[in-house]
């Protein structure tokens, strides 16, 4: 029931679905191996070498409350982590990165179209599969499956594996299951690490049921972080 539509090239699979979601059914997947204006979180670019890496977006039209939206990023993250881990051990850096050997191998950007209710959710996933050289701006923090495994990855197989796993965890979530949260907690890259968020220092304690990062501040008071980028002291 997931239908994959492959484009030779697109500015951005997320942008395409944001502009065209009304013409497609839920569970349509738009993919391309040549994204010319890939978008990351917080207005960053997503850079992927042409015909090497995976860039795709899944269209959802759920009848869920908007308060649950942050969980969709975690569902996608848990799915990608579970699939990447068939190839190499990996962890989730809350809220949207997948990490292998302390470097980013995948990023997730969920965008929503909301009027009175959720009209559409676009789950954008980029996975560095076969890229071997990265732009100097991200060289020290990015890796790929090919770099860590030393062999070419079958991109069509990888996309299918992620879609199947996403479907499983998303359906579990729609049935009030929380398997994705177990995955995010068990493979929480930030667990017990010192992080910085908006110039404050915290220690990461947990991820709670609404998808927030639970941290303790320098006075040992618990606090919840619900958005944004967190940075670590000396590693990515
Ligand atoms: C991030 O790590 O900041 C999120 C990156 C998300 C990249 C994917 S690639 C497919 C989809 N289309 C986009 O333009 N962005 C997402």
3-state secondary structure the chain: CCEEEEECCECCHHHHHHHHHHHCCCCEEEEECCECCCECHHHCECCCCCCCCEEEEEEECCCCCHHHHHHHHHHHHHHHHHHHCCCCCCEEECCCEEEECCEEEEEEEEEEEECCCEEEEEEEEEECCCCCCCCCCCCCCECCHHHHHCCCCCHHHHHHHHHHHHHHHHHHHHCCCCHHHHHHHHCECCCCCEEEECCEEEEEEEECCCCCEEEECCCCCEEEECCCCCEECCCC
pLDDT on residue 228: 63
pLDDT at 58 over 60: yes
Cβ pair 4, 31 in contact under 8 A: yes
Enumerate the β-bridge partners of residue 112.
121
Mean pLDDT of 158-173: 98
pLDDT band at 66 (very low <50, low <70, confident <90, very high): very high
Probe residue for ligand 1, chosen from 6, 11, 14, 97 as the CB with the greatest number of ligand atoms within 8 Å? 14
The pLDDT confidence band at residue 235, using thresholds 50, 70 and 90, is very low
Residue 198's pLDDT is: 84
Shortest-distance atom of ligand 1 to CA 38: 14
pLDDT band of residue 75 (cuts 50, 70, 90) is: very high
Q: So what's the pLDDT on residue 231?
A: 72
Does residue 167 surpass a pLDDT of 60? yes
Average of per-residue pLDDT across 150-173:
98
- Which protein residues are within 6 Å of ligand 1, measured from CB? 12-14, 38-41, 44, 46, 55-57, 96-97, 107-109, 124-126
Q: What spacing in Å lies between the alpha carbon of 227 and ligand 1's midpoint?
A: 17
The rounded percent of the chain whose pLDDT value lies above 70 is 97
Residue nearest to atom 15 of ligand 1 (CA): 39
More confident: 206 or 230: 206
The answer to whether 129 and 145 have CB atoms below 8 angstroms apart is yes
pLDDT tens digits, one per residue of 106-142: 999 999 999 989 999 999 999 999 999 999 999 999 9
Band (42; pLDDT cuts 50, 70, 90): confident
Whether the Cβ atoms of residue 99 and residue 137 lie closer than 8 Å to each other = no
Name the band, by pLDDT with cuts 50, 70 and 90, for residue 236. very low
Nearest to 49 by CA among 30, 31, 39, 34: 34
Q: What local confidence, expressed as pLDDT, does residue 207 receive?
A: 97
Query: Given a cut of 80, is residue 3 above it in pLDDT?
Result: yes
Peptide bond connecting 171 to the previous residue in cis, omega within 30 degrees of 0: no
Ligand 1 centre distance from Cα of residue 156 (Å): 18
pLDDT on residue 229: 63
Instruction: Give the torsion through C-alpha atoms of 164, 167, 171, 172, to 10 deg.
Output: 60
Specify the higher pLDDT residue, 197 or 25.
25
């Amino acid at each position: 029931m997931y239908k994959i539509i492959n484009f030779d090239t697109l500015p951005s699979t997320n942008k395409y679905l944001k502009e065209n979601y009304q013409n497609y059914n839920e569970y349509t997947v738009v993919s391309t191996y040549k994204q010319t204006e890939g978008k990351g979180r917080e207005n960053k670019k997503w850079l992927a070498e042409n015909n090497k890496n995976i860039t795709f977006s899944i269209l959802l039209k759920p009848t869920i409350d908007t308060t649950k939206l942050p969980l969709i990023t975690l569902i996608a993250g848990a799915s990608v982590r579970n699939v990447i881990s068939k190839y190499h051990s990996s962890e989730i850096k809350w809220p949207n990165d997948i990490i292998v050997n302390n470097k980013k191998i995948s990023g997730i950007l969920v965008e929503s179209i909301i009027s009175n209710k959720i009209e559409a959710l676009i789950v954008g996933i980029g996975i560095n599969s076969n890229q071997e050289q990265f732009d100097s701006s991200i060289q020290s923090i990015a890796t790929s499956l090919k770099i860590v495994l030393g062999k070419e990855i079958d991109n069509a197989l990888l996309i299918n594996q992620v879609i199947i796993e996403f479907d499983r965890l998303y359906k579990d979530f729609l049935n009030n299951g929380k398997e994705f949260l177990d995955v995010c907690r068990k493979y929480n890259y930030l667990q017990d690490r010192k992080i910085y968020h908006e110039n404050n220092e915290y220690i990461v304690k947990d991820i709670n049921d609404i998808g927030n990062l639970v941290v303790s501040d320098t006075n040992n008071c618990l606090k919840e972080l619900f958005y944004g980028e967190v940075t670590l002291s000396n590693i990515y």
